[in-house]
């Protein structure tokens, strides 16, 4: 275990790296997950390592979608399982969503390691082991889903991924809430709600918004209005603008 002094200017980023490294050691995160993390860090750096205001708006809309959904599912991969396990369990509880492990580099060992890891962090039920359905049009392991999970879901939270599945899920007509720091990624291009923020900040932020919407006892009508007024093109353009200009 390497100690990171809190005074280090890149404390948060170094801590995040350690979580991903630990995830690899525990068999949760794939080695490719390390590369994905590096790509994410580069975009996060350009965005100022903070939640930009337009991302916060997207997070509120994502919360409204999850609360209005009939069958919301939070898809879990090796990166978010290592980074934010407790926070995922909390979001699932607050929005009454299912957690389903779905991996790009799928192995039974890693599926079970992640399911166990989520249980250790308080999850009751975790889907993804049945894998009794296929997402049409995908020929890799990521196509394997549970028939009563992602396959049947109306709203799916998709954390950082490769893009293929995001397109295939969109083709199935699902509402996709995509967390990915790269606004130009294929996943974000296929998203219903692009959340251009670090998963570390995005997941707890969506939970907070869901709590506030519930506490304000927002009517279904109000939440529908939040969703209807959302402009995804503006959100994508805003993140790109911040990245290019280096400021709001
Ligand atoms: O656990 P598995 O087998 O399902 O594999 C998961 C990874 C992430 C390895 C796999 O889906 C993959 O290879 O993804 P890519 O193609 O590297 O894409 C990852 C995307 O997520 C990139 O656009 C990164 O910028 C972005 N990203 C990385 N870390 C974060 C992130 N976005 C938000 N928060 C992060 N912490």
**What residues are designated binding site for ATP?**
17, 39, 180-182, 186-187
Distance in Å, CA 48 to ligand 1 centroid: 19
37 lines ligand 1 (CB under 6 A): yes
181 lines ligand 1 (CB under 6 A): yes
Which one, of 187, 155, 148, lies nearest residue 66 by Cα? 155
pLDDT, tens only, 95-125: 999 999 999 989 999 999 999 999 999 999 9
Domain boundaries, the chain: 53-243
Report the C-alpha gap between 186 and 191 in whole angstroms. 9
Percent of the chain at pLDDT exceeding 90: 83
Surface-to-core class of residue 145, CB atoms within 10 Å of its CB (0-12 exposed, 13-18 middle, 19+ buried): buried
- Residue nearest (by alpha carbon) to ligand 1 atom 23: 182
Q: What is the value of pTM for the model shown?
A: 0.95
pLDDT at 1 over 70: no
What pLDDT was estimated at residue 155? 98
Where does the pLDDT of residue 2 fall: very low under 50, low under 70, confident under 90, or very high at 90 and above? low
Q: Quick check: helix, strand or coil at residue 192?
A: coil
Give φ, ψ of 133 to 5 degrees.
Answer: -140, 170
198 lines ligand 1 (CB under 6 A): yes
Q: Quick check: helix, strand or coil at residue 142?
A: helix
Architecture of the domain made up of 53-243: 3-Layer(aba) Sandwich (3.40)
ipTM: 0.97
Read off the pLDDT of each residue in 180-190 and give the average, rounded to a whole number.
Answer: 95
Where does the pLDDT of residue 209 fall: very low under 50, low under 70, confident under 90, or very high at 90 and above? very high
pLDDT, tens only, 44-98: 999 999 999 999 999 999 999 999 999 999 999 999 999 999 999 999 999 999 9
């Amino acid at each position: 275990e390497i100690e990171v002094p809190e005074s280090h200017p890149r404390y948060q980023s170094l801590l995040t790296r350690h979580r991903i490294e630990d995830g690899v050691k525990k068999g949760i995160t794939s080695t490719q997950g390390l590369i994905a993390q590096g790509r994410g860090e580069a975009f996060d750096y350009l965005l100022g390592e903070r939640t930009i205001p337009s991302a916060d708006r997207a997070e509120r809309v994502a919360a409204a979608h999850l609360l209005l959904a009939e069958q919301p599912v939070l898809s879990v991969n090796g990166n978010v399982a290592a980074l934010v396990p407790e926070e995922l369990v909390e979001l699932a509880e607050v929005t009454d969503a299912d957690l389903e492990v779905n991996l790009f580099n799928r192995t039974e060992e890693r599926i079970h390691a992640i399911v166990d890891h989520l249980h250790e962090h308080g999850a009751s039920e975790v889907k993804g082991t049945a894998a009794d359905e296929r997402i049409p049009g995908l020929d890799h392991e990521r196509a394997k889903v549970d028939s009563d999970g992602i396959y049947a879901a109306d709203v799916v939270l998709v954390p950082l991924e490769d893009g293929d599945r995001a397109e295939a899920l969109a083709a199935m007509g699902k509402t996709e809430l995509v967390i990915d720091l790269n606004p130009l990624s294929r996943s974000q291009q296929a998203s219903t709600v692009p959340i251009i923020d670090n998963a570390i900040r995005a997941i707890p932020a969506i939970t907070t918004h869901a709590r506030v919407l519930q506490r304000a006892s927002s009517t279904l009508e109000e939440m529908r209005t939040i969703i209807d007024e959302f402009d995804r093109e503006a959100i994508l353009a805003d993140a790109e603008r911040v990245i290019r200009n280096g400021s709001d």
